[in-house]
Amino acid sequence: MIRAMLGVVLALGSSVATAAQTPPDVFARQTLAVTDRVHLIYKPAVTDPPFEGNVVVIEQGRGLVVVDAGGSPIAGRDVVAEIRKLSKKPVRWLIYTHYHGDHNLGAGAFRDAWPGLRILSTAKTRENMTGAPMDYVRTYAKSYGDMAAYAATQARDEHLPKALRDGWARTAAAGPGMVAGYADMRVYPADRTFTDHFSIPDRAAPVEVLFLGRGNTDGDAVVWAPKQRVVASGDLVVAPIPYAAHTYPGEWIATLKKLEALDFAYLVPGHGPMETDRAYVDKLIAALDNVRAQVGPLARADVPLDEVRRRIDLKPLRHDFAGDDPWLGFLFSAVFSGDLVSNAYKEARGEAVIQGKG
């Protein structure tokens, strides 16, 4: 989910940071039991870089099904180590929720650990992972070096509120670890794909992999364990600040409503803590409705996008998600509202949202 934030930062200009010695592992994970046979492997401090996608492990009779792989080779090794603490069974299926690297660039460690592993995604996700949307991976380490250098200057800017400076200071401190973690990355596209629905049967913990419609990307997979009543949403749901980079706002709402129609007791978002009700998804749907309702009429009246941004009022929404926290407020603009307004504008004008672009 970092790309929008990188865009904001890089537009402001910065210089390259260099890593000294072996930096600390900024991708380290912890594991939480969701329910019987389902575990969540997550990076604490979800609102500080590196933004790492959640990993969900579902234990079937003969092996494990894992949702997402961590966002770097180091993250992948950390996740594999956590999985091995949970079970001696092999991972038989690795499922990608979508193509963004923070969910799949750790897959090499899975391939090394379990050579019989099959990787599954939607056909669209595979297409994105073998095409231009993944090009950014080549310059990822440099981008993070630039971001850390910029963060260090922001952390020293006494005109900024302390909580914001603290956020930048944490980002700067994580810089060398991110630069090291994002070096020499390889993409592992899925070797099996599906379009609407894929079943991985099991007596105790069957898994249904679903495409419910476009939303966060053009090929989001949702993973549903009906017996455990756990759903892994990928970045269709990200908390506490949603992520909107290449989203399709109207279709996203429809997809979230289908997600809500599943009889889940636990929802594991793409980032952020597990949810046990529909309150946050409702809040997200209301936010998308709100922005579409404000942007749509202006976009259709040919008001330029910059002018639309000046005319609409996002303060109440920002407060709903970020409260009075300046760092969360920064993230709200950097990874959610800025892109959401652009995408709602395009949607209202019948223009395409293209994965990996603008």
Q: Residue of minimal CB distance from Zn ion?
A: 1
Distances (CA, A) of 44 to 40, 117, 147: 12, 27, 21
Whether the CB-CB separation of 330 and 166 falls below 8 Å is answered with no
Evaluated on CA atoms 267, 271, 274, 279, the torsion sign reads negative
- Does 68 contact Zn ion by CB under 5 A? no
Helices 162-181 and 73-86, axial angle in degrees (round to 10): 90
Q: Which of residues 262-301 bind Zn ion (CB under 5 A)?
A: 270
Figure out which of the listed residues 82, 220, 235, 339 binds Zn ion, where binding follows CB under 5 A: 235
- Does 339 contact Zn ion by CB under 5 A? no
Between 130 and 159, how does the x/- string for binding to Zn ion read (CB under 5 A)?
A: ------------------------------
Q: CB 71 → Zn ion: shortest distance, Å?
A: 8
Q: Which of residues 18-57 bind Zn ion (CB under 5 A)?
A: 53
How far is it, in rounded angstroms, from Cα 322 to Cα 332? 7
Q: CB 235 → Zn ion: shortest distance, Å?
A: 4
Q: CB 157 → Zn ion: shortest distance, Å?
A: 28
Figure out which of the listed residues 59, 68, 82, 102 binds Zn ion, where binding follows CB under 5 A: 102
26 token code pair: 């900024």
Q: CB 103 → Zn ion: shortest distance, Å?
A: 5
Task: Count how many Cα atoms sit within 13 Å of the Cα of residue 142 in the half-sphere of its side chain.
Answer: 6
Whether the CB-CB separation of 72 and 185 falls below 8 Å is answered with yes
Q: CB 170 → Zn ion: shortest distance, Å?
A: 19
Q: Which stretch binds Zn ion (CB under 5 A): 1-9, 179-187, 315-323, 337-345?
A: 1-9
Whether the CB-CB separation of 315 and 273 falls below 8 Å is answered with no
Between 296 and 315, how does the x/- string for binding to Zn ion read (CB under 5 A)?
A: --------------------
- Does 78 contact Zn ion by CB under 5 A? no
> Exposed, middle or buried, 226 (CB in 10 Å: 0-12/13-18/19+)?
middle
Q: Which is nearer to Zn ion, 63 or 73 (CB)?
A: 73
User: Hey, is 217 helix, strand or coil?
Assistant: coil
Q: CB 53 → Zn ion: shortest distance, Å?
A: 4
Count of residues binding Zn ion (CB under 5 A)?
6
Q: Which is nearer to Zn ion, 60 or 217 (CB)?
A: 217
Q: Which is nearer to Zn ion, 102 or 146 (CB)?
A: 102
Partners of 347 in the β-ladder:
none
106 — alpha (psi -120 to 50), left (phi > 0) or beta?
alpha
Q: Which is nearer to Zn ion, 60 or 216 (CB)?
A: 216
How far is it, in rounded angstroms, from Cα 297 to Cα 33? 46
Q: CB 233 → Zn ion: shortest distance, Å?
A: 11
Q: Which is nearer to Zn ion, 100 or 318 (CB)?
A: 100
Q: CB 2 → Zn ion: shortest distance, Å?
A: 8
> Exposed, middle or buried, 74 (CB in 10 Å: 0-12/13-18/19+)?
buried
Interface contacts to Zn ion, rule CB under 5 A = 1, 53, 100, 102, 235, 270
